[in-house]
Amino acid sequence: MSKDTDKQSLSNKMWGGRFSASPADIMEEINASIGFDKRLATQDIRGSKAHADMLAAAGIITKEDAKRIVAGLDQILGEVEAGVMKWSRALEDVHMNVESRLKDNIGAPAGRLHTARSRNDQVATDFKLWVRDRIDAMDMALGVLQLSLARKAEAHAATVMPGFTHLQPAQPVTFGHHLLAYVEMIGRDRGRFADARARLNECPLGAAALAGTSFPIDRHATAAALDFDRPTANSLDSVSDRDFALETLAAASIAAMHLSRFAEEIVIWMTPQFGFITLSDKFTTGSSIMPQKRNPDAAELSRAKVGRIAGAFQSLLMVMKGLPLAYSKDMQEDKEVTFDALDSFGLAVAAMSGMVEDLEPRADVMRAAAGRGYSTATDLADWLVRELKLPFRDAHHVTGRVVSLAEGRGVELEALSLADLKTIEPRFRADALDVLSVDNSVKSRTSHGGTAPQNVRKMARGWVRKLEKAAERV
């Protein structure tokens, strides 16, 4: 059989004789999706098994046919998992490949499987199942990262480092406090994924092509079999909705941005100019020409992933923005970008978790840096307000003159004497000198959410207990 005859035979097999000629080569090239949507094979087979069981329970097909269909699908699943399933581009997509293979396995009963459904509701169901599975995997991975951060935060609840605004020294904080900021961010990221999961958890199966079906199907049964909360309520929306993928990509974009910010800090902290942390050979690389180099490539690559992930969100948004109801083939463009984005996100999370476990802070360097840049100036202003009852704006002005004095002498605030302070404000007392210490500065920040080590230790322990308990339930 020639190639064209073979293609025409497959075309007739797929379209029931409506087309008498085979598609042009370029049509096959642009139309086929099997190269990427075969990743949905597990979800496709799961949905088909639930559909077959429902058809039998509703008396639409015989129980014997359903049993043979399910057994045949299980055989195909085994081939997929073993990596021996043969995929045909001429059959376009994962759905037709599975159905064709099923016919090879069990013969005529395979033709009954597609009763009361369309590839439109089938692919929507498969894709929802896949995205839901990935959300669960991403949530677990983010939980691992949170736990790593919380444990390191507890270990370094009192390790002093500079806090920055505008990347300029601002006030002393602790390394544990800094890490807990990312624990909080990731907690919100996980919340966004959970919200997306809750909204997507409605089953499109049974919506058919766009209008529903005249067969007496039980959509609640298939929804329950696939662990959805309920069937979707509108058949047009069911097959044309991709906002579940968009929302997941949006959540991934925000989460990847948080990872990128932390990755950027790791890159900065690794520089000799900062020297705040070390990373081992596990997460760094060398240079082909400069033997002294230790490059934080894992952090740099994690930082870069947000571009691909946010780009995928924009790509799918542009695909969907002009589509009339219901299904259009444009929507075939939904999967490649989503697959790539969520794969990239999972890789970045795993890399960041590894780096958190691996990195070691250089406490002496951090503490020395925390004292530079007049970072305890606000503590001195607060002392003036608290002890001398100055309005804060007046205290701010007095402290500014003290900083100017230190700057003029080329020293830090701690190097000034009480006599020096009194030249600016005669009412300064000896206890004012105590607040200029970075250790006393961080200890004083006892307000809820502040950087005081006792706060950080308590918060970190709470997160560790919560996250360990959640991990035990998985």
Is 22 catalytic? The answer is: no
**Is 166 a residue of the active site?**
yes
Residue partners of 75: CB distance under 8 A and separation at least 6: 105
In the predicted model, is pLDDT for residue 381 greater than 70?
A: yes
Q: What percent of the chain has pLDDT over 70?
A: 94
31 versus 130: the higher-pLDDT residue is 130
- In this prediction, residue 16 carries a pLDDT of 54
**Is residue 186's pLDDT more than 90?**
yes
Encoding tokens for residue 470? Answer: 């959640």
Task: Out of 9, 287, 328, 404, pick the active-site residue.
Answer: 287
In this prediction the pTM is 0.90
User: Which pLDDT value is given to residue 293?
Assistant: 76
Which of the 8 DSSP states describes residue 371?
T
Please, are residues 48 and 116 in contact by the beta-carbon 8 Å criterion?
Answer: no
**DSSP annotation of 21:** S
Residue among 166, 288, 417, 448 flagged as catalytic: 166
Please determine, for residue 65, whether its predicted confidence score (pLDDT) is greater than 50. yes
- Asked if pLDDT for residue 326 goes beyond 50, the answer is yes
Identify the pLDDT of residue 1.
44
Average the pLDDT over 360-364 and give the result. 97
- The token pair that represents 20 in the structure block: 């008498």
Split at pLDDT 50, 70, 90, the class of 17 is: low
- For the segment 102-107, the average pLDDT, to the nearest whole number, is 96
Return the ∠ at Cα 157 (arms to 155 and 160), rounded to 5°. Answer: 115
CB 439 within 8 A of CB 160: yes
Q: How many CB atoms lie within 10 A of CB 201?
A: 17
One-letter amino acid at 432 equals: A
Backbone angles phi, psi at 250, to 5 degrees: -65, -45
Q: Region 320-343: what's the mean pLDDT?
A: 95
**What's phi and psi for 286, nearest 5 deg?**
-105, -170
pLDDT of 225 > 70? The answer is: yes
CA distance 183 to 47: 37
Least confident residue range of 214-223, 280-289, 465-474? 280-289
The percent of residues in the chain predicted with pLDDT above 90, rounded, is 85
DSSP letter for 93, please: S
Predicted confidence band at 7 (pLDDT cuts at 50, 70, 90)? very low
Nearest to 207 by CA among 179, 230, 174: 230
Burial 299-310 (b: 16+ CB within 10 A, else e): beebbebbebbb
CA dist 469 and 61 (Å) reads: 46
Average of per-residue pLDDT values in the chain: 93
Cis-peptide into 66, omega within 30 deg: no
For 240-276, the pLDDT digits (tens) are: 999 999 999 999 999 999 999 999 999 999 999 999 9
User: Is the bond preceding residue 21 a cis peptide, omega within 30 degrees?
Assistant: no
Residue 114 amino acid letter: H
At 33, the pLDDT band (50, 70, 90 cuts) reads confident
Q: Which amino acid does the sequence have at 385?
A: V
Q: Picking from 36-40, 137-141, 158-162, which range would have the lowest pLDDT averaged per residue?
A: 36-40
With bands split at pLDDT 50, 70 and 90, how would you rate the model's confidence at 21?
low
Phi, psi angles (nearest 5°) of residue 173: -135, -175
CA distances from 258 to 29, 134, 262, 434 (A): 38, 19, 7, 36
Ordered DSSP codes for 195-245: HHHHHH-EE-TT-TTTT--SS---HHHHHHHTT-SEE-S-HHHHHH--HHH
Binned at pLDDT 50, 70 and 90, residue 286 comes out as confident
What is the CB-side half-sphere exposure of residue 407 using CA atoms within 13 A? 10
